[in-house]
Each structure stands twice: as structure tokens, then as C-alpha cells.
């Protein structure tokens, strides 16, 4: 994979590519710090290395043509024979999405709970990666020995089934990774956070807690998932036509609530979205989702039902272009259309960066006559990440010697660190890390920041078989913003210019002036070539670069734009 170093990282410290000293433990965040997504933490001793989670990051609008972003695992390369396993906290994409790319290089055992591994297995099938010998299922409170580590999975409540915190017994002491969590007293599936076990760990002694910082800015108590029934019931009772509910396909608890309410109100349910169908099939097979008899309707049969008899559950709460909801709104789902009397509910909070897409989606629905207002409707969404009271409770329950905020922007980590200090942890026991920061738990009892190791991002375009270089993304942005100009010169076999140059543009607006702008650029091209030293003319790459720079200077000066400039040198056919 291509190493694309983070701009905020210092050069790697000397000796980063050597194993830790005996008795020391390194914690290296490969991703997930200073950003939302791409969660991956390397836990490294002299006798082995494991990874906690292996997630991806979805691209933003300034990364055109990129399907997903995964961590650069350059830090692991010097220790390739010491990579032992991946331990998973839960099955969200930002925690498992990079596994297919990781497993191609390191086909090591992957440990996780049943629902989590079910999602991993499906993902690996899509990438033709065999999993028969590597997926290792664990249950709540199970312990597994992996090389020099002993791992224990402790249940936590979150917005996906089977989420866990992981307690690691290491040469550096007990390290607890919270995973994504909240302390929900009334979870839909009845699976409570293992508070008693966390308390017992705290009494035994915890060296370090790495804790989810996603919702540290929220000061009020964390709402229970059970409150969503209030708003969804209101929506069902006040909607005369179809009720359309878009949520994440992994939020099985929310979907269970919706199905139960639909059954209670006498409506049938139509599921639209391939990931939704796959995840529900997996959840049903594991007993994580209960479906009343004869409640499901296939999209092809939806037209046979009166609007008030139907609830549509869809993917697409983030405005994803190919989601079930967007396909319905574009009229691409046969026998299924929306109109006046129908209501759309987005039962999810927009992920930062998706606000424009969500707004566009709601506008599309409104143009069809669909009701999108939530006036008079109770809560329809509850976060899966604990607010500040839950983060405080986790720290006070485990009473770790050291606290490391993880998962979130630097502002989130900073606020979480301030909370830890307010609760009673001295500043020297609260550690704010960045991607690639190497934190060492020393055998002498000290905890120290050793510096940076190589980290970065690999950009995945599913249309090609390798990672995409950052320069490609840069060129795509230029094409998107300012277009491209092709400047062609014809040369004879001796390298002399033949005829006049050709200027062609796409996506670039030529200036309308007395002298056509194309002729101006042609003149610049001719002058630059004619004045080029013989040594430059003999080197085609150097000549192209000289022509490119000359044209870019003129274009920037006259138009204040920066199109992609592509010089083309063609050899004229020899005269017969």
C-alpha cells in the first residue's frame, strides 16, 4: 500500500522499526485519533503485536472517485512475523471496514462476537478472501490467550448488536479499550453493559483506559434507545399514507422497534436496501432480530397495498446516492413511488460532512409531496455513543491509573482529557495522542510518549486493483474545479517544431477577448519551445515540464484559475 504520511506527524523517532524492549508495551493508534473513523490500535510487546479494530473512513466531497479510505499499516511491516491477530469491539464499518485489505497482507485470526464476525464474513466474501480458518467467535465475558496477551470481551450497549469493550492483560498491566459505548439502562435486546465486571477489573487494578470520545461535548444524560419508540409511534399514528423510515442498516435495535410498532398498528413492512436485507438476515439467523409472521412485503409487491397499510424501512439516512431511499426518490424501484400523504423520517443523525447530501435528499422528497417535518413527533433517534455522564461513569468504574481519549477529532479528545482532569486525574496521567503517536507503558512503571511512527491513509478506488496515489486525487480536484487544457506540438524526427500548436480544453472557460485565448496560449507554447535550450529539447520529460509551467503561469495570471495542463508532443510522420 502507498504510504501517505499525515501532515500533522513529525518524522518517525529513531528505532521505531525495532521491537519494544522486553517488559515494555507500545500503544500505537494507526487511525481513529483526530478524526471520526478508520479506528485501529496496535498493541505491541517484545513478543507479539495485535490490532484492536481495523476500520475505514468514508471519503469527503474533496476526494472525488474514492470509494473508501483505509489506514496505512506501514508501522506493522518491520514486525510482519509478529502480527498475531485482530480483536474486534463491534461491527461498524469504521471498526471493521479495512479488514479485507489488511487480511490480504496478514491473514491472521480475527476475534469477535457472533454478529460482528457475521458482518466480517460477508465483507470478506465480497473480496474473495477465505475466512474458514481465521474467524474466531467469542461470547460475552469470554477470555482468549493470544500470544503474550489475554483478552476479555465485556458487553457494552451501542447502536449495533454484540458490541464489547476489550480488557487486555499485558506485560504493561491491564489495558481496557471501551470500544464505542453508552450506558443504556433499557436496551432493546435486554443486553446490558457488564458494569459488575468492569467494577471488578477496577478493583483488580487497571493500568490504562482508552475511552470513546465521540459525544463528550454533550453534557446531558445519554438517551436510551427505547425512547425512539415514542417518536416512531407518533409518526405511525399521524401519517395517512406510507411511513418511510431511513436508518443505518446495522441498527438492528431501531429496526426491531419499527417492526414491532408496525405490527402493533396493523401495517406491513417493506425493506429496501441490500445491506439492510443482508444484516437482518444475519441478525435473524443469530436470534438478534424477531420478525412477526407475514409482516414483510417485497418491494415488487408494495403496489398491492394501500399507502396506509405500509411502512418502508430503507437505507439512505446519510443521502448515499445508491441507497434504497435515494433509488425510491429517483423512481428507480419498480412498483414503488412516494407522494402526497406519505411521510419521510430520517432516524439517524447526519455524520459530519453529510449535511449537504441529507438536505438535498429531504428536498427531493418534498418536491414529490412527501411530508418531511417532525413537528409534533417525539424522539426518533438516540445516539449509540455515551454523553459526558457516561464517559465519567466509565472512568470512575474502572479507576485506571492513566486515561487516553480515543475516537474523535482533537477537540473531542481535548474535551475528554479536560473531563478526566475535572474528575480527579492529574494532567500527567491524561494522554492526548495523535495518529501515529507511540505511547509506551514502561516496565519501570512510567508512561511516556516516544514520538511518531509512520501512519497515513490509503485511498481505495474500486475500479483499480491498487491504492490511489494522493496526486491522483489532487488532479481529480483540479479537473473538477478548473478543467483541463491539452497543448499539442508536432515535432519532426530531428526534434524541430512542425506547424502551429493545437490547444484543446475541457471544463475550462476560454476568455472572450479581441485575440482568441487559444491563440494566446499557442503563442506562449511556441515561444517557450523556440527559446528552450538544446539540452531541454533533447529530454522529452523536461521539455513537457517547461511547457507546462509556462502555460500555467500565463493561465493563472490571466484567469486566476489552475486547470490541469497536459503538454502532448507528437512526432510528425516522415515524408515519403
Give the long-range contacts of residues 186-191, CB within 8 A, separation 24 or more: 186/224, 186/225, 186/226, 187/157, 187/224, 187/225, 187/226, 187/253, 188/225, 188/226, 188/253, 188/256, 188/257, 189/161, 189/253, 189/256, 189/288, 191/140, 191/155, 191/157, 191/161
Same domain, 72 and 190: yes
pLDDT of residue 514: 41
pLDDT at 572 exceeding the cut of 80: no
What's phi and psi for 255, nearest 5 deg? -65, -35
Same domain, 244 and 215: no
**Average pLDDT value for residue range 371-384:** 95
Same domain, 106 and 160: yes
> Which strands sit side by side in the sheet containing 497-506, from one edge to the other?
497-506, 484-491, 564-571
Last residue of a domain, one of 448, 470, 492: 470
Contact 339, 305 (CB under 8 A): no
Q: Are strands 437-441 and 243-246 parallel, antiparallel or unpaired?
A: unpaired
pLDDT at 8 exceeding the cut of 80: no
**Average pLDDT value for residue range 512-525:** 72
- State the Cα–Cα distance between residues 227 and 230, nearest whole angstrom: 6
| 3-class SS of residue 232 | helix
Residue with cell 449535511: 355
Q: Is the dihedral of CA 54, 60, 64, 67 positive or negative?
A: positive
Lowest mean pLDDT among 270-279, 344-353, 480-489, 512-521: 512-521
Q: Is position 375 within any domain?
A: no
Q: Is position 12 within any domain?
A: no
Same domain, 426 and 548: no
CATH of the domain at 298: 3.40.50.10710
Lowest mean pLDDT among 85-89, 457-461, 566-570: 457-461
Q: Is the dihedral of CA 478, 479, 483, 488 positive or negative?
A: positive
Same domain, 265 and 334: yes
For the chain, count helices (H), then strands (E).
15, 25
- The CA–CA distances, whole Å, from 221 to 155, 324, 387, 393, 532 equal 20, 33, 6, 11, 71
| 3-class SS of residue 203 | helix
Lowest mean pLDDT among 327-336, 378-387, 565-574: 565-574
CATH of the domain at 539: 3.10.20.580
pLDDT of residue 513: 45
pLDDT at 3 exceeding the cut of 60: no
**Average pLDDT value for residue range 112-122:** 97
Other beta carbons less than 10 A from residue 571's beta carbon: 11
Residue range of the domain that includes 192: 25-220+384-470
**pLDDT tens track for 55-74:** 998 765 554 455 678 898 98
Burial of 368 from C-beta contacts in 10 A (0-12 / 13-18 / 19+): middle
Contact 569, 489 (CB under 8 A): yes
- The CA–CA distances, whole Å, from 267 to 310, 328, 449 equal 5, 19, 58
Contact 482, 446 (CB under 8 A): no
| Number of domain units in the chain | 3
pLDDT band at 509 (very low <50, low <70, confident <90, very high): low
**Average pLDDT value for residue range 257-280:** 95
pLDDT of residue 356: 85
- State the Cα–Cα distance between residues 435 and 450, nearest whole angstrom: 13
**Average pLDDT value for residue range 483-496:** 83
Percent of the chain scoring above 70 in pLDDT: 91
Closest CA relative to residue 254, chosen from 156, 113, 379, 139: 379
Q: Are strands 48-52 and 447-452 parallel, antiparallel or unpaired?
A: unpaired
Same domain, 391 and 533: no
Last residue of a domain, one of 436, 470, 504: 470
Same domain, 293 and 180: no
Mean pLDDT of the chain: 89
Gyration radius of the chain over CA positions: 28
**pLDDT tens track for 21-57:** 999 999 999 988 988 889 999 999 999 999 999 999 8
Residue 370, phi-psi category: left (phi > 0), alpha (psi -120 to 50), beta (remainder): beta
- State the Cα–Cα distance between residues 118 and 285, nearest whole angstrom: 10
What's phi and psi for 189, nearest 5 deg? -90, 0
- State the Cα–Cα distance between residues 209 and 197, nearest whole angstrom: 15
Q: Is position 376 within any domain?
A: no
Give, in degrees to the nearest 5, the angle at Cα 361 between 357 and 367. Answer: 145
- State the Cα–Cα distance between residues 458 and 66, nearest whole angstrom: 10
Same domain, 465 and 490: no
Lowest mean pLDDT among 184-188, 273-277, 348-352: 348-352
pLDDT at 84 exceeding the cut of 50: yes
In our burial notation (b when 16+ CB lie closer than 10 A, e otherwise), range 253-291 reads: bbbbbbbbbbbeeebbbbbbbebbeebbebbeeeebbeb
CATH of the domain at 433: 3.60.15.10
- State the Cα–Cα distance between residues 246 and 370, nearest whole angstrom: 14
- State the Cα–Cα distance between residues 191 and 180, nearest whole angstrom: 15
Same domain, 269 and 340: yes
Same domain, 117 and 198: yes
Burial of 371 from C-beta contacts in 10 A (0-12 / 13-18 / 19+): buried
pLDDT of residue 539: 85
Amino acid at each position: 500500500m502507498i504510504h501517505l504520511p499525515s501532515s500533522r506527524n513529525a518524522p518517525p523517532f529513531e528505532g521505531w522499526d525495532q521491537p519494544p524492549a522486553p517488559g515494555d508495551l507500545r500503544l500505537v493508534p494507526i487511525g481513529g485519533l483526530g478524526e471520526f473513523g478508520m479506528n485501529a490500535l496496535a498493541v505491541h510487546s517484545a513478543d507479539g503485536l495485535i490490532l484492536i479494530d481495523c476500520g475505514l473512513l468514508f471519503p469527503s466531497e474533496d476526494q472525488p472517485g474514492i470509494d473508501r479510505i483505509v489506514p496505512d499499516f506501514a508501522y506493522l511491516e518491520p514486525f510482519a512475523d509478529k502480527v498475531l491477530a485482530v480483536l474486534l469491539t463491534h461491527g461498524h464499518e469504521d471498526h471493521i471496514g479495512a479488514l479485507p485489505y489488511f487480511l490480504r497482507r496478514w491473514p491472521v485470526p480475527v476475534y469477535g462476537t457472533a454478529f460482528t464476525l457475521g458482518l466480517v464474513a460477508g465483507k470478506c466474501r465480497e473480496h474473495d478472501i477465505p475466512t474458514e480458518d481465521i474467524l474466531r467467535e467469542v461470547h460475552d465475558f469470554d477470555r482468549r490467550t493470544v500470544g503474550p496477551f489475554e483478552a476479555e470481551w465485556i458487553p457494552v450497549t451501542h447502536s449495533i448488536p454484540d458490541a464489547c469493550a476489550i480488557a487486555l492483560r499485558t506485560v504493561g498491566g491491564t489495558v481496557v479499550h471501551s470500544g464505542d459505548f453508552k450506558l443504556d439502562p433499557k436496551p432493546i435486546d435486554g443486553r446490558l453493559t457488564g458494569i459488575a465486571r468492569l467494577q471488578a477489573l477496577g478493583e483488580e487494578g487497571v493500568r490504562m483506559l482508552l475511552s470513546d470520545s465521540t459525544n463528550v461535548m454533550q453534557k446531558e444524560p445519554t438517551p436510551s434507545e427505547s425512547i425512539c419508540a415514542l417518536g416512531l409511534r407518533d409518526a405511525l399514528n399521524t401519517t395517512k399514507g406510507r411511513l418511510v423510515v431511513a436508518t443505518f442498516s446495522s441498527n438492528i435495535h431501531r429496526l426491531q422497534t419499527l417492526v414491532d410498532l408496525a405490527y402493533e398498528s396493523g401495517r406491513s413492512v417493506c425493506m429496501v436496501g441490500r445491506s439492510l436485507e443482508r444484516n437482518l438476515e444475519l441478525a435473524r439467523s443469530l436470534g438478534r432480530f424477531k420478525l412477526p409472521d407475514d409482516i414483510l412485503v417485497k418491494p415488487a409487491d408494495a403496489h398491492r397495498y394501500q399507502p396506509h397499510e405500509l411502512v418502508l424501512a430503507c437505507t439512505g439516512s446519510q443521502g448515499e446516492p445508491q441507497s434504497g431511499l435515494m433509488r425510491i426518490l429517483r423512481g428507480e424501484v419498480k412498483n414503488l413511488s412516494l407522494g402526497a400523504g406519505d411521510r419521510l423520517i430520517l432516524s439517524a443523525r447526519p455524520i459530519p460532512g453529510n449535511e449537504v447530501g441529507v438536505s438535498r435528499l429531504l428536498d427531493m422528497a418534498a418536491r414529490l409531496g412527501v411530508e418531511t417535518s417532525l413537528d409534533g413527533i417525539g424522539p426518533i433517534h438516540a445516539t449509540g455513543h455515551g454523553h459526558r455522564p457516561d464517559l465519567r461513569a466509565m472512568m470512575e468504574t474502572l479507576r485506571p491509573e492513566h486515561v487516553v481519549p480515543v475516537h474523535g477529532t482533537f477537540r473531542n479528545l481535548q474535551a475528554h482529557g479536560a473531563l478526566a482532569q475535572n474528575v480527579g486525574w492529574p494532567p500527567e496521567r491524561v494522554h492526548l495522542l495523535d495518529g501515529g503517536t507511540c505511547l509506551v507503558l514502561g516496565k519501570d512503571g512510567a508512561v511516556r510518549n516516544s514520538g511518531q511512527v509512520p501512519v497515513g491513509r490509503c485511498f481505495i478506488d474500486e475500479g483499480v486493483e491498487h491504492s490511489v496515489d494522493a496526486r491522483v486525487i489532487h488532479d481529480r480536484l483540479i479537473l473538477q474545479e478548473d478543467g483541463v487544457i491539452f497543448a499539442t506540438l508536432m515535432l519532426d524526427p530531428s526534434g524541430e517544431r512542425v506547424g502551429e500548436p493545437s490547444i484543446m480544453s475541457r471544463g475550462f472557460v476560454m476568455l472572450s477577448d479581441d485575440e482568441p485565448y487559444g491563440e494566446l496560449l499557442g503563442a506562449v507554447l511556441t515561444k517557450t519551445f523556440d527559446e528552450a535550450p538544446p539540452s531541454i529539447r533533447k529530454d522529452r520529460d523536461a521539455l513537457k515540464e517547461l511547457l507546462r509551467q509556462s502555460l500555467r503561469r500565463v493561465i493563472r495570471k490571466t484567469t486566476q484559475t489552475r486547470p490541469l495542463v497536459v503538454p502532448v508532443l507528437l512526432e510528425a510522420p516522415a515524408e515519403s
